[in-house]
Amino acid sequence: MRLVILGSGRGSNAAAILEAEKAGRLGRARVVAVFSDQPAAGILALGERFAVNSAFVDPAPFKTKLEGAGEARFIAAVSAAQPDLVVLAGFMRVLKPGFLQAFSGKIINLHPSLLPSFPGLDGIGQAFRRGVKITGCTVHSVTLEVDGGPILDQAVVRIETGDTLEMLVEKMHTAEHALLPAVIRRLSER
Ligand code: GAR
């Protein structure tokens, strides 16, 4: 199963996927490319570290969504990698019908809350400020409804009394780094 990873940030989840592949814990999946909409994103450094194709793809003209010329560039780059699965690992742009149709049924997203609670931006901060005691992370199929596609799996993270936001972020990343490779592995073995 050929994986393409898209991300906008430091890329700790992409690194967890690549580590899992290296350790033989990713089933029949292998990462063939990593693309980012941010030229300075940490995720792009993983290309060299894991000897995998990685590149910035210009998302212009929009700031928060992928549409128009930027969408066309992403469709071209991702298509060229011939993915069986496109993994959004911290990709902070809303996908539109053009991209969704190009990779129909093949896109999954990681979100840092127990969906359907706290969709959208800053799922960790939203849960922390709301004062819930249980949050977690979700991997779901991507549809036009932002963070609304069918849920594939979730992991629970408890917020203990005295936890700071920074502590919660750390716990969330630990949970995500286990959940996302496990879901990919299962999908690859179907
Ligand atoms: C992760 O916590 C992921 O759940 C979140 O971005 C972070 C990326 O971290 N994604 C979203 O909020 C998507 N709406 P990383 O770059 O270290 O993998």
Going by alpha carbons, the residue nearest to atom 17 of ligand 1 is 12
The pLDDT tens digits of the residues spanning 138-184 come to 999 999 999 999 999 999 999 999 999 999 999 999 999 999 999 99
Q: Which of 110, 128, 137, 173 to mutate to test the pocket of ligand 1 (most atoms within 8 A of CB)?
A: 110
Residues 6+ apart with CB under 8 A from 22: 50
Which domains occur in the chain, in start order? 2-188 (3.40.50.170)
Spatial distance between the Cα atoms of 21 and 12, rounded to a whole number of angstroms: 14
- Confidence check: pLDDT of 190 > 90: no
- Distances in Å between the alpha carbon of 91 and those of 34, 37, 59, 66, 87? 11, 8, 12, 11, 9
Using the mean position of ligand 1's atoms as its centre, give its distance from the Cα of residue 140 in Å: 13
Going by alpha carbons, the residue nearest to atom 2 of ligand 1 is 112
The pLDDT tens digits of the residues spanning 34-87 come to 999 999 999 999 999 999 999 999 999 999 999 999 999 999 999 999 999 999
Protein residues whose CB sits closer than 6 Å to any atom of ligand 1:
7, 9-13, 43, 89-90, 110-112, 123, 172, 176
Q: Is 111 a catalytic residue?
A: yes
Q: What's this model's pTM, rounded to 2 decimal places?
A: 0.97
